[in-house]
Amino acid sequence: MHSVTTTELFLLAMLIIYSLPYLVWRWGRTEYYAPLVVVQIVAGIALGPGVLGAAFPSYYQTVFTPDVIKMLTGLATWAVMLFVWIAGIELELNKAWANVRETAVTAGLAMMVPMALGSLVAAMLLYTGDIWAGSNGNSVQVILGLGMSCAVTALPILILFMEKLEILRAPLGQRILRYASLDDIAIWGVLALILLDWERIGRQAVFLVAFMAAAFLIRKLMVLLQERDRWPISLIWLAAVAFGADWCGLHFMVGAFLAGMVMEARWFNQERMDLFRHFVLLAFMPVFSCLRGCARSGKAAGEKAAD
Protein backbone atom coordinates (compact mmCIF):
# COMPACT_ATOMS: atom_id res chain seq x y z
CA MET A 1 0.00 0.00 0.00
CA HIS A 2 1.27 3.42 -0.93
CA SER A 3 2.09 5.62 2.06
CA VAL A 4 1.40 9.32 1.62
CA THR A 5 4.62 11.35 1.56
CA THR A 6 5.18 14.74 3.18
CA THR A 7 5.37 16.32 -0.28
CA GLU A 8 1.95 14.92 -1.18
CA LEU A 9 0.49 16.19 2.10
CA PHE A 10 2.03 19.60 1.40
CA LEU A 11 0.44 19.71 -2.04
CA LEU A 12 -2.90 18.61 -0.58
CA ALA A 13 -2.69 21.43 1.98
CA MET A 14 -1.88 23.88 -0.83
CA LEU A 15 -4.90 22.61 -2.76
CA ILE A 16 -7.14 23.34 0.24
CA ILE A 17 -5.57 26.74 0.92
CA TYR A 18 -5.95 27.94 -2.65
CA SER A 19 -9.28 26.40 -3.60
CA LEU A 20 -11.44 26.91 -0.49
CA PRO A 21 -11.17 30.73 -0.23
CA TYR A 22 -11.48 31.18 -3.99
CA LEU A 23 -14.61 29.07 -4.27
CA VAL A 24 -16.24 30.86 -1.32
CA TRP A 25 -15.26 34.24 -2.76
CA ARG A 26 -16.42 33.45 -6.31
CA TRP A 27 -19.54 31.41 -5.64
CA GLY A 28 -20.58 33.50 -2.67
CA ARG A 29 -20.09 36.75 -4.64
CA THR A 30 -18.44 38.37 -1.62
CA GLU A 31 -16.37 40.86 -3.63
CA TYR A 32 -18.44 43.88 -2.60
CA TYR A 33 -18.24 43.38 1.17
CA ALA A 34 -15.38 40.87 1.58
CA PRO A 35 -12.44 40.95 -0.88
CA LEU A 36 -10.54 37.75 -1.56
CA VAL A 37 -7.84 38.55 1.02
CA VAL A 38 -10.50 38.83 3.75
CA VAL A 39 -11.98 35.48 2.71
CA GLN A 40 -8.47 33.99 2.84
CA ILE A 41 -7.99 35.22 6.40
CA VAL A 42 -11.36 33.83 7.47
CA ALA A 43 -10.50 30.56 5.74
CA GLY A 44 -7.28 30.44 7.76
CA ILE A 45 -9.35 30.63 10.95
CA ALA A 46 -11.71 27.97 9.63
CA LEU A 47 -8.74 25.71 8.89
CA GLY A 48 -7.54 26.10 12.46
CA PRO A 49 -8.18 23.96 15.54
CA GLY A 50 -11.44 25.67 16.50
CA VAL A 51 -13.33 24.65 13.35
CA LEU A 52 -11.74 22.05 11.09
CA GLY A 53 -9.61 20.58 13.87
CA ALA A 54 -12.65 20.23 16.14
CA ALA A 55 -15.04 18.89 13.47
CA PHE A 56 -12.64 16.46 11.75
CA PRO A 57 -9.63 16.01 14.05
CA SER A 58 -8.32 12.81 12.44
CA TYR A 59 -8.47 14.18 8.89
CA TYR A 60 -7.04 17.47 10.02
CA GLN A 61 -4.08 15.96 11.85
CA THR A 62 -3.38 13.76 8.85
CA VAL A 63 -2.98 16.70 6.44
CA PHE A 64 -1.58 19.52 8.59
CA THR A 65 1.32 17.67 10.14
CA PRO A 66 4.23 19.54 11.79
CA ASP A 67 6.41 18.92 8.69
CA VAL A 68 3.75 20.36 6.38
CA ILE A 69 3.34 23.39 8.64
CA LYS A 70 7.10 24.00 8.47
CA MET A 71 7.00 23.93 4.67
CA LEU A 72 4.03 26.30 4.57
CA THR A 73 5.71 28.62 7.07
CA GLY A 74 8.81 28.91 4.89
CA LEU A 75 6.72 29.77 1.84
CA ALA A 76 4.63 32.31 3.79
CA THR A 77 7.76 33.92 5.26
CA TRP A 78 9.23 34.55 1.83
CA ALA A 79 5.85 35.80 0.58
CA VAL A 80 5.47 38.45 3.26
CA MET A 81 9.13 39.46 2.86
CA LEU A 82 8.59 40.08 -0.86
CA PHE A 83 5.42 42.04 -0.22
CA VAL A 84 6.94 44.24 2.49
CA TRP A 85 10.03 44.75 0.30
CA ILE A 86 7.83 46.03 -2.53
CA ALA A 87 6.10 48.37 -0.07
CA GLY A 88 9.47 49.77 0.92
CA ILE A 89 10.40 50.40 -2.71
CA GLU A 90 7.12 52.20 -3.39
CA LEU A 91 7.42 54.38 -0.28
CA GLU A 92 8.56 57.81 -1.48
CA LEU A 93 10.91 58.94 1.28
CA ASN A 94 11.56 62.31 -0.35
CA LYS A 95 7.90 63.23 0.15
CA ALA A 96 8.01 61.97 3.72
CA TRP A 97 11.02 64.22 4.39
CA ALA A 98 9.37 67.17 2.65
CA ASN A 99 6.37 66.74 4.99
CA VAL A 100 8.32 65.60 8.02
CA ARG A 101 6.28 67.51 10.61
CA GLU A 102 2.91 66.28 9.32
CA THR A 103 4.23 62.73 8.93
CA ALA A 104 5.77 62.63 12.41
CA VAL A 105 2.70 64.05 14.17
CA THR A 106 0.17 61.84 12.36
CA ALA A 107 2.24 58.66 12.56
CA GLY A 108 3.07 59.38 16.20
CA LEU A 109 -0.57 59.80 17.18
CA ALA A 110 -1.58 56.76 15.13
CA MET A 111 0.86 54.69 17.17
CA MET A 112 0.67 56.28 20.63
CA VAL A 113 -3.12 56.43 21.02
CA PRO A 114 -3.85 52.69 20.51
CA MET A 115 -0.66 51.79 22.34
CA ALA A 116 -1.65 53.90 25.36
CA LEU A 117 -5.15 52.38 25.41
CA GLY A 118 -3.78 48.87 25.04
CA SER A 119 -1.27 49.47 27.82
CA LEU A 120 -4.07 50.74 30.05
CA VAL A 121 -6.05 47.55 29.47
CA ALA A 122 -2.91 45.51 30.13
CA ALA A 123 -2.40 47.31 33.45
CA MET A 124 -6.01 46.54 34.40
CA LEU A 125 -5.50 42.87 33.54
CA LEU A 126 -2.36 42.74 35.66
CA TYR A 127 -4.29 44.28 38.55
CA THR A 128 -6.59 41.23 38.50
CA GLY A 129 -3.62 38.86 38.80
CA ASP A 130 -0.15 38.07 37.46
CA ILE A 131 -1.27 35.19 35.23
CA TRP A 132 -0.61 37.34 32.13
CA ALA A 133 3.14 37.48 32.79
CA GLY A 134 5.32 34.49 32.03
CA SER A 135 7.86 33.03 34.40
CA ASN A 136 10.61 35.27 33.00
CA GLY A 137 8.44 38.31 32.32
CA ASN A 138 7.61 41.36 34.37
CA SER A 139 4.81 43.90 34.57
CA VAL A 140 6.51 46.47 32.33
CA GLN A 141 7.04 43.92 29.58
CA VAL A 142 3.43 42.77 29.73
CA ILE A 143 2.05 46.31 29.63
CA LEU A 144 4.29 47.45 26.76
CA GLY A 145 3.85 44.17 24.89
CA LEU A 146 0.05 44.26 24.90
CA GLY A 147 0.07 47.97 24.11
CA MET A 148 2.42 47.35 21.18
CA SER A 149 0.15 44.57 19.90
CA CYS A 150 -2.75 47.03 19.75
CA ALA A 151 -0.71 49.59 17.81
CA VAL A 152 1.08 47.47 15.23
CA THR A 153 -0.06 47.74 11.60
CA ALA A 154 -0.71 44.67 9.43
CA LEU A 155 1.29 46.26 6.62
CA PRO A 156 0.80 43.52 3.99
CA ILE A 157 -2.96 43.50 4.55
CA LEU A 158 -3.07 47.31 4.45
CA ILE A 159 -1.27 47.29 1.10
CA LEU A 160 -3.69 44.71 -0.27
CA PHE A 161 -6.67 46.84 0.73
CA MET A 162 -5.16 50.01 -0.75
CA GLU A 163 -4.39 48.20 -3.96
CA LYS A 164 -7.95 46.89 -4.05
CA LEU A 165 -9.24 50.45 -3.61
CA GLU A 166 -6.78 51.61 -6.30
CA ILE A 167 -5.21 54.26 -4.05
CA LEU A 168 -1.80 52.68 -3.42
CA ARG A 169 0.06 55.11 -5.68
CA ALA A 170 -2.37 57.99 -5.15
CA PRO A 171 -1.30 60.80 -2.78
CA LEU A 172 -3.68 59.51 -0.10
CA GLY A 173 -2.32 55.96 -0.39
CA GLN A 174 1.28 57.18 -0.19
CA ARG A 175 0.50 59.18 2.94
CA ILE A 176 -1.16 56.18 4.59
CA LEU A 177 1.81 54.02 3.64
CA ARG A 178 4.25 56.55 5.13
CA TYR A 179 2.35 56.70 8.40
CA ALA A 180 1.98 52.92 8.70
CA SER A 181 5.61 52.27 7.77
CA LEU A 182 6.97 54.71 10.34
CA ASP A 183 4.61 53.22 12.93
CA ASP A 184 5.95 49.74 12.27
CA ILE A 185 9.57 50.90 12.53
CA ALA A 186 8.78 52.59 15.85
CA ILE A 187 6.93 49.51 17.08
CA TRP A 188 9.94 47.31 16.43
CA GLY A 189 11.96 49.83 18.43
CA VAL A 190 9.53 49.34 21.32
CA LEU A 191 9.96 45.58 20.96
CA ALA A 192 13.72 46.01 21.17
CA LEU A 193 13.24 47.90 24.45
CA ILE A 194 10.97 45.19 25.82
CA LEU A 195 13.53 42.51 25.02
CA LEU A 196 16.46 44.70 26.02
CA ASP A 197 19.77 42.97 26.61
CA TRP A 198 23.31 44.09 25.86
CA GLU A 199 24.10 41.20 23.53
CA ARG A 200 21.16 42.09 21.27
CA ILE A 201 22.01 45.80 21.36
CA GLY A 202 25.56 45.04 20.28
CA ARG A 203 24.36 42.94 17.33
CA GLN A 204 21.86 45.60 16.33
CA ALA A 205 24.55 48.29 16.37
CA VAL A 206 26.75 46.10 14.15
CA PHE A 207 23.85 45.47 11.78
CA LEU A 208 22.87 49.15 11.48
CA VAL A 209 26.45 50.24 10.74
CA ALA A 210 26.89 47.46 8.17
CA PHE A 211 23.47 48.19 6.65
CA MET A 212 24.18 51.90 6.15
CA ALA A 213 27.50 51.13 4.46
CA ALA A 214 25.99 48.41 2.29
CA ALA A 215 22.97 50.59 1.39
CA PHE A 216 25.30 53.31 0.14
CA LEU A 217 27.12 50.82 -2.07
CA ILE A 218 23.95 49.10 -3.35
CA ARG A 219 22.47 52.45 -4.38
CA LYS A 220 25.62 53.26 -6.34
CA LEU A 221 25.55 49.81 -7.95
CA MET A 222 21.88 49.95 -8.93
CA VAL A 223 22.39 53.18 -10.85
CA LEU A 224 25.08 51.50 -12.95
CA LEU A 225 23.08 48.35 -13.69
CA GLN A 226 20.48 47.75 -16.39
CA GLU A 227 17.00 46.89 -15.18
CA ARG A 228 17.34 43.20 -16.12
CA ASP A 229 20.22 42.95 -13.62
CA ARG A 230 18.53 45.06 -10.95
CA TRP A 231 15.86 42.44 -10.24
CA PRO A 232 18.15 39.51 -9.27
CA ILE A 233 20.55 41.81 -7.40
CA SER A 234 17.58 43.27 -5.50
CA LEU A 235 16.41 39.82 -4.39
CA ILE A 236 19.94 38.97 -3.20
CA TRP A 237 19.97 42.28 -1.31
CA LEU A 238 16.56 41.49 0.20
CA ALA A 239 17.67 38.09 1.51
CA ALA A 240 20.92 39.49 2.92
CA VAL A 241 19.31 42.41 4.78
CA ALA A 242 16.45 40.28 6.10
CA PHE A 243 18.97 37.74 7.40
CA GLY A 244 21.01 40.47 9.09
CA ALA A 245 17.94 42.03 10.70
CA ASP A 246 16.71 38.70 12.03
CA TRP A 247 20.20 37.79 13.28
CA CYS A 248 20.43 40.96 15.36
CA GLY A 249 16.92 40.62 16.80
CA LEU A 250 15.07 43.22 14.70
CA HIS A 251 12.99 40.59 12.78
CA PHE A 252 13.23 39.68 9.12
CA MET A 253 10.22 41.86 8.17
CA VAL A 254 12.08 44.95 9.38
CA GLY A 255 15.01 43.93 7.22
CA ALA A 256 12.77 43.33 4.21
CA PHE A 257 11.25 46.78 4.57
CA LEU A 258 14.63 48.46 5.02
CA ALA A 259 15.96 46.62 1.95
CA GLY A 260 13.18 48.11 -0.15
CA MET A 261 13.16 51.51 1.51
CA VAL A 262 16.68 52.42 0.37
CA MET A 263 15.81 51.65 -3.24
CA GLU A 264 14.08 53.94 -5.72
CA ALA A 265 10.86 52.99 -7.49
CA ARG A 266 12.10 54.78 -10.61
CA TRP A 267 14.82 52.15 -11.01
CA PHE A 268 12.15 49.64 -11.98
CA ASN A 269 9.57 49.63 -14.73
CA GLN A 270 6.25 50.38 -13.04
CA GLU A 271 4.31 47.93 -15.19
CA ARG A 272 6.74 45.13 -14.35
CA MET A 273 6.60 46.03 -10.67
CA ASP A 274 2.80 45.84 -10.77
CA LEU A 275 2.97 42.45 -12.49
CA PHE A 276 5.47 41.22 -9.92
CA ARG A 277 3.25 42.37 -7.03
CA HIS A 278 0.22 40.71 -8.59
CA PHE A 279 2.23 37.50 -9.05
CA VAL A 280 3.27 37.51 -5.38
CA LEU A 281 -0.34 38.24 -4.40
CA LEU A 282 -1.66 35.38 -6.52
CA ALA A 283 1.01 32.73 -6.01
CA PHE A 284 2.26 33.26 -2.44
CA MET A 285 0.11 35.53 -0.30
CA PRO A 286 -2.85 33.10 0.06
CA VAL A 287 -0.51 30.86 2.05
CA PHE A 288 0.44 33.75 4.33
CA SER A 289 -3.19 34.78 4.79
CA CYS A 290 -4.39 31.28 5.62
CA LEU A 291 -1.41 30.05 7.61
CA ARG A 292 -2.15 31.45 11.08
CA GLY A 293 -5.01 29.14 11.88
CA CYS A 294 -3.24 26.21 10.22
CA ALA A 295 -0.05 26.83 12.20
CA ARG A 296 -1.85 26.75 15.54
CA SER A 297 -3.62 23.56 14.49
CA GLY A 298 -0.37 21.96 13.37
CA LYS A 299 1.18 22.77 16.74
CA ALA A 300 -1.81 21.33 18.59
CA ALA A 301 -1.73 18.23 16.43
CA GLY A 302 1.97 17.77 17.06
CA GLU A 303 1.51 18.11 20.82
CA LYS A 304 -1.36 15.63 20.80
CA ALA A 305 0.67 13.16 18.74
CA ALA A 306 3.60 13.56 21.16
CA ASP A 307 1.30 12.78 24.09
**Does pLDDT of 180 surpass 50?**
yes
Give the end of a domain, one of 144, 172, 196.
196
Q: How far is CA 65 from CA 41, 194, 263, 301, in A?
A: 20, 33, 39, 7
Name the H helices within 195-284.
198-224, 227-247, 252-261, 270-283
**Does pLDDT of 42 surpass 90?**
no
Name the percent of the chain lying above pLDDT 90: 11
User: pTM above 0.85?
Assistant: no
The answer on 119 and 64 residing in a single domain is no
According to the model, what pLDDT value does residue 194 have? 67
**What total of structural domains would you count in the chain?**
3
Q: What's the rounded mean pLDDT across residues 53-59?
A: 74
Q: Which of 160, 139, 191, 153 is nearest to 277 (CA)?
A: 160
Q: What's the rounded mean pLDDT across residues 138-148?
A: 78
pLDDT tens column, 202-220: 888 888 899 999 999 999 9
**Does pLDDT of 48 surpass 90?**
no
The answer on 169 and 105 residing in a single domain is yes
The answer on 115 and 66 residing in a single domain is no
Question: Is the four-CA dihedral 275, 276, 278, 279 of positive or negative sign?
Answer: positive
Structural domain boundaries enclosing 243:
198-268
Asked, for residue 47, whether it belongs to a domain, the answer is: yes
The answer on 206 and 184 residing in a single domain is no
According to the model, what pLDDT value does residue 305 have? 37
Asked, for residue 295, whether it belongs to a domain, the answer is: yes
User: In terms of pLDDT, which residue wins out, 35 or 70?
Assistant: 70
Asked, for residue 294, whether it belongs to a domain, the answer is: yes
According to the model, what pLDDT value does residue 131 have? 62
Name the percent of the chain lying above pLDDT 70: 82
Asked, for residue 46, whether it belongs to a domain, the answer is: yes
pLDDT tens column, 84-96: 888 788 776 666 6
The alpha-carbon radius of gyration of the chain (Å, integer) is 21
Task: Identify the band that residue 303 occupies on the pLDDT scale cut at 50, 70 and 90.
Answer: very low
**Does pLDDT of 307 surpass 50?**
no
According to the model, what pLDDT value does residue 49 have? 66
According to the model, what pLDDT value does residue 304 have? 40
